[in-house]
Structure 1
Amino acid sequence: MHAPRLWSLEPRRNEGGFDTTMQHPRFLRSLIVATALLTMPALAQMRGHGGPVRALGVLPGGEIAVSGGFDQAVIVWGIPTGTALSVLRFHEGAVNAVAALPDGGFATASEDGRIAVWRIGRPEPERVFTEHTGPVTGLAVSPDGLALASASWDGTARIRPLSGGPTRVLAGHAGNVNAVAYLPDSRIATAGYDATLRIWPAEDGNAPPVVITLPAPLNAVAVARDGAIAVAGGDATVRLLRPDGRERGAVEVGPNPVIALALSPDETRIAAATAGGTVAVVARERGTVLRRLVGPGLPVWSVAWRGDELVTGGSDRLVRRWNAATGEPIGALSLPRPSDPLAAFAGDRGAEVYRACVACHALTPEDGPRAGPTLAGIIGRRIATAPGYRYSEALKSMDLVWDAATIARLFEVGPARYTPGTRMPEQTITAAEDRAALVRFLEKATALP
């Protein structure tokens, strides 16, 4: 039960009817995409994910965006029309990061510990990196476009040539590394849950990183072409640092934690996405909040610039477009808020305990895909057998059936100890009465007709 943490040649079609192979010659593929962009009606709000939109990237040229979700899907969008050009299902966990490559490709990183490099129109990645032993949460491309950096909850950042070759390991954070960025001189900045920003030398060697300790766990980092750094996290403050790590200013954008940062193309503004459902647009030089983009009151997990537009991804499962100069949404903002799957269980203590799991697990078989498998029919079900979900080999080899005792034990000792090899974030429920309440709730809410 996951909980979000802030800190062949035959064409295959998904449920929405989208061709997920797109195996055409390049000129024909380009023609098809261009024709679609010219003739389809524009939709400013892009709907397609079955869970929160965790990651976003806009490819060079600004016509195509790529999103990654808690539903394990990567969606390639035509921005002018708001239509999905392809849905890619490769990852076996939430897609946490997207990075645009200078040559028009893109990279994705996931909770499954894998990084995939893609080309538009191809159904499978052209290259996969598997060095990390934990979820990958951040990606960055080197200034020369030849290397890819990644941040992971295995406590490291790693640098590898995109063409292949040895990987450099940056180890030193005490816990999860949540974000990574390159400085223009090819030094690397990493931000961690240990509340430190670390600036690493460009070349592998014995020189230690510069360590800057800040007041709260860090979730995001962005670097300008002049080397200035912006970093933010749990204390809802964007800190503006000089290239050597000295603090130049701080901007409070709260009250909610900052989840993602993005610099505008002209680098005069910083977009800070928050857990409260707003995006603060900060004037970089003055260190002030210019305006706030106010959404439907749900966490904004990802943000990217497209000229003077902002593209955001949130817990409402939508990719939205905004006019960054005015703070106004492009298209209708008032779309139906996702229904609360727990509304029918108001006052049930077990439902309240389960609320931490609802973003990643559906209770009924007809609900959309999430980062974790559906819990429908879980009582009496053998582990790693829910249809339509990709499990790790470690879980598929376990001899375990979910019942009241095994579910309670899972949350008593934690997923890492009870189900080794799981991608589920580590969590426990300390009170026995709360574990019992959760089990009773699941027995009712997940029973199949």
Structure 2
Amino acid sequence: MIIFRGLSGIATAFCLPSAVSVITASFTGKRRDFAFAAMGGGQPIGFSIGLTLGGVLTDSIGWRWGYYLSAILNTIVLAISWWGLPSSIDNGIAGEGVASMSWAQKWQRVKTEIDWIGAVIASASLAMLSYVFAAITGSQSTIRQPSSITMLVTAFALIPAFIFWVGRQEHLGRPALIPNSLWRNKIFTTICLAVFLTWGTFNALETVLTFYFQDVQKLSATETSIRFLPAPISGALSNVAMGLLVHRIPANWLVVVGCTLSLAAPLAMVFATPTSNYWSSGFLANLFNPNGADALYTISNLLITSVFPAKTQALAGGVFNTISQIGKSITMALVAVLAAQVTLKASVAEKHSPDALMVGYRATFWFMFACILATILLSVWGLRGIGTVGHKKRD
């Protein structure tokens, strides 16, 4: 399971940076705005739909069908991609693109134009961090095990090693996996930090909501899934709005407004109880949760295409995707630890009762509220004055 989840992550890492380059090369003007809005909505909307279908499948034909369905859909997407995507998005000059190269030339580029040592260092650090965070999410006592401590220490030690290595590569004019100069761009750094917080909060809130519906309100998997239906609908509407507004309204204001709407999601759950009405708590949480993630994702991709030259856009997109996944892993682990520790110290005697669990979940909702508020303040400071990032003139 862990190996195949890792392969799934590798597939995502291949797809998203390539998608940034394909959209940049294939669309212009307002069509590019809508293309990035559609891609930005794919992740939160897909996550919400998958969460909904998962519950329905669990209570009907079985949870294994969630994996079967994923395999079927991936096969269909592979066939469509093979048919519809361009084989090369280089400069488009005859004889100079990837499509005109022999396989030997392509392999030579792979061997010489990729920072393989940097990739190994970064992958090892992220893999160990992700494993420990996943283990902590399942059981907080795992952090005390010698193997977990060893992996954490090693993972954190590899971070300065990676920074030193890519700095050396960049200084010598060699390929660097993530050049240190990339972080000198204030806008890009701000966007990455904002995505780290927003993407982690979005996923953590949907996960805790699942526990709230099933463990606190004692709903079935199907009943829980149905309660998530507002999320993909809200996400789709948010992305349509982003496509229409991104070239009219300054990007910093769109991010701030989107994240401000998302503040209502954890705030609605802070005051929830085990017997709360769905429409006054869970519905509002699902309705507003996708807004910040959708706004930030669309703005981020448009900023990448406007701030960086074409040859750096895929790299920036890859870094952006990596940051979002790290934010998801870390936030999920922190939320799990926070909920468990607060529940353990609750005054309720039965720690597995709905009242005791609600004490821990309420603490996580306040934590998510603080993360979204931090994102808003960070965006106000780091993105001020950037103006609009979408199409401004007629094609």
**With structure 2 as the length reference, what TM-score do the two structures score?**
0.25
The structure that is helix-richer by fraction is 2
TM-score, length-scaled by structure 1: 0.23
